[in-house]
A and B are shown apart, each in its own frame.
Chain A
Amino acid sequence: MKIQSRPFGEIDVDESRIITLQGGMFGFEGYEKYVLVGVQDQKPFEWIQCVDEPSIAFVVLQPDAFMSGYQLSISEADKSALGVTAESDLLTYVICVIPDDMRKMTVNLKGPIVIHSKNRLGRQVISLVEQYTVRHPLFDLMKDGQTGAEPEKGP
């Protein structure tokens, strides 16, 4: 099927590649159908493009591309909504904000998008790792290698 995308104009996507983000993204509730699109010269960056609204698209990265030891640590509610028991069944993407000075680009480690690769169900979730914020400078994380974050202790 043909859809309008923000980065690439009209693109052709196979319907089997459409991802359902349950409840939509925070701030964009109601739009649930997305597709991942990427091109070689933008790697490792990719786009999560809304199928029904061309203007809604996010630049994303998989944490493995820039840090080792990213910990997802999401609630049981999120896991059961997606039909997974182990977080390792989920693909994780973090959203990038790229200002004019690209060296200051940031990634949102607190609110990743997770996708169950088997049923293509996903959602934007909140990581329970206390140290993660919505705005980590990407190139600082790459310098440090990892954040050394530990999951939040239970009550």
Chain B
Amino acid sequence: MLVLTRKINESIMIGDSIEVVVIGVHGEQVKIGIKAPRNVAVHRREVYEAIQKENIEAARQKVPAALAQAAQLFKQQDPKK
């Protein structure tokens, strides 16, 4: 991993279209600004990890037989019915 030291308001270019700016440092928190083209997705890493974990749990659950029961429960809760 490339490690660089930056001061507040200094930035890093990734390629020629993505800029990462250090906006501020408060104790353990670092505020970072990211300028990227609209076709580049930027998300916090925890979000990826949370979705991954949730997918694995969803795929592991043993529901096939119980899903009709869940559907019954759903219909009971549905205010539209």
Contact = CB atoms under 8 A, between A and B. Distances in A.
Interface residues of B, number: 34
A133 B59 CA distance: 18
Interface in A68-108: 75-78, 80, 95-99, 102-103, 105, 108
A63 interface: no
Interface string B53-66: 11111110101101
B71 interface: yes
A95 B67 contact: no
Interface of A: 6-8, 25-28, 41-45, 55-59, 65-66, 75-78, 80, 95-99, 102-103, 105, 108, 110-111, 124, 126, 133-135, 138-139, 142-143, 145, 155
Contacts, number: 108
Contacts of B48: 26, 126
**Interface residues of A: mostly helix, strand, loop or mixed?**
mixed
B55 A155 contact: no
A60 B69 CA distance: 15
Interface of B is mostly: helix
A81 to B, nearest CB: 9
B24 to A, nearest CB: 14
A45 B73 contact: no
Contacts of B52: 26-27
A42 B59 contact: no
A45 B74 contact: yes
B70 A43 contact: no
Contact of B68 (A41, A58, A66, A126): A41
